[in-house]
Structure 1
Amino acid sequence: MKVATGKVVGGKVVLEGVSLEEGTSVTVLAKDDDGSLELTPEQEAELLLSIAEADRGETVSAEEVLAKLVHRRG
């Protein structure tokens, strides 16, 4: 998996400093005009890594997460 940034130019996404093979599947995260999603480059990279983990089935159930939260509260 590669993480890249770019801009839309002429209706197409133009990546900065990365070239991909023709036909490569990509996921694009775009900022909304209302600013509802604001991520630093580091947060965006972490999000993309987490998405990749989920795609591979590397997930934790809601029950496990809730149990850990309850345990932390003591």
Structure 2
Amino acid sequence: MRIMKRFSKNHPNLKNLEILCLCLVSLANIKVLFIIFIKRNVVYYMHRIVEVYLVDIIMSLIPNVPIQLKKLLSIIYLR
């Protein structure tokens, strides 16, 4: 399930960024993934309920994620 919505426009701290934040929220056995990214100075967030590993989903949704971000996500997922 994917839902993409507009979150905010022209925020000064968000310029020149493609991916702002990746946040994993675990509720029981359901993992909710919020992907916040910027396209044409508009902030969007993508919401997807998943039951598989976080890094695999990110790699499938955004194939050009930087390596440092993948490492950070792995650390977040393991906590």
Q: TM-score range by the shorter chain?
A: under 0.3
Larger radius of gyration: 1
TM-score (norm 1): 0.25
TM-score (norm 2): 0.24
Larger relative contact order, structure 1 or 2 (CA cutoff 8 Å, min sep 6): 2
